[in-house]
Amino acid sequence: MNFKTLDDMDLAGKVVLTRVDINVPVEDGHVTDTTRIDRILPTLRDIQAAGGKVVMLAHFGRPKGKVVPEMSLRQVVPALSQALGQDVAFIERPDRATIDATDGPILIENTRFSPMEEANDPMMSKFLASLGDVYCNDAFSAAHRAHASTEGIAHLLPACAGRSMEAELKALEAALGKPKPPVAAVVGGAKVSSKLDLLGNLVGKVQHLIIGGGMANTFLAAQGVDVQKSLCEHDLLDTARQITAKAEAAGCAILLPNDVVVAKEFRADPPTQTVKADEVPAGYMILDAGPDSVAHIKTVLDGCATLVWNGPLGAFEMTPFDAATVAAARHAAELTKAGKLISVAGGGDTVSALNHAGVATDFTYISTAGGAFLEWMEGKVLPGVAALSDH
């Protein structure tokens, strides 16, 4: 994965068009969570320290090519200015504005207000490129979209990755690009159907595939286990068998729960039983992996050098069905802190689960990129990344 970073660029006196992700939650016109803003600050500050002028490009929501006042980036400017510690100017119509390299930082209105953005229209790419001298992409979360501000413009200017994008790409390379073996992957969640491409890609790249959540029920059922009332995609049993066969051929060991925590109701703190996976009582449903399964997972992780994690091992939103996810996550965190494991995790539920376990800051890297992270794990080419690699 070859790409330039800010360190490779001459930014002195240059206008640096910087694609950022500031698609932040807003209530009553005020930003309620500045996490995404905080993540881009190192890039903005490094550009300025190198003598460059920051002009930010970003989207907000899904206006579908129309001007939607409620999705204006103008409401993000106060939080952005406060975080950066300097006034950020806002340009509503860049086609009517003059951008001077001596001015302070600028934020341009929502790129998705134009239908040409998502169409990756060359006219919009050329217009955006005309506003600056250098292009910096610091929005990995939008890198799976071939849009004018994420892909088109990168072919028209000297292009590089921002600090957040650089960190993400290096973490992903360490996890699946050129990982240190043995590699384990934890894949959880409700449905196999949503992660078919992911599973198909991973079995050829990892030595251990740990499957949890509702997905595990489908794989258990494919082996002839009666999972009773458990969430299970019975129409995908053949698919599960095909994935298992592909894993065997590739030398990838699939780890399914050998004991499970079951209950009659899907709610917090109901009466539960811990039983062998093939002995689920009639009328019960599997809601978490059991202690023997967790012990096995820990042993596998002890013997690995790299871990990729996407999805919880059980219904972690409700106690006590968070136990397996929390225990495995904390063990991975301990191995990481001890320098024994490179751990990379991503996906919405995954981030929530690791925060719940109190270990989000202990993993080597946690991606908040959602769709882009998942598509990367599926082995797909991300247009925004590929465009940087072309330089």
Q: Which residues are catalytic?
A: 36, 191, 348, 371
Q: Are 15 and 101 in contact (CB under 8 A)?
A: yes
Specify binding-site residues. Answer: 21-23, 36, 59-62, 112, 145, 195, 317, 347-350
User: Annotated binding residues for substrate, as ranges?
Assistant: 21-23, 36, 59-62, 112, 145
Q: Rounded distance, CA 308 to CA 320, Å? A: 25
Residue pointed to by tokens 């002195």: 12
Residues in CB range of 381: below 8 A, 6 or more apart: none
Element housing 273 (H / E): strand 272-276
* Helix, strand, or coil (residue 242): helix
Task: Work out the number of other CB atoms within 10 angstroms of the CB of residue 363.
Answer: 24
Q: How far is CA 211 from each of CA 10, 249, 290, rounded to the nearest angstrom?
A: 47, 18, 13
> Which residue ranges are tagged as binding site for ATP?
195, 317, 347-350
- Rounded Cα distance between 171 and 177, Å, is 9
Sheet holding 208-211, edge to edge: 253-255, 208-211, 183-187, 306-310, 342-346, 365-367
Maximal CA-CA distance, the chain: 73
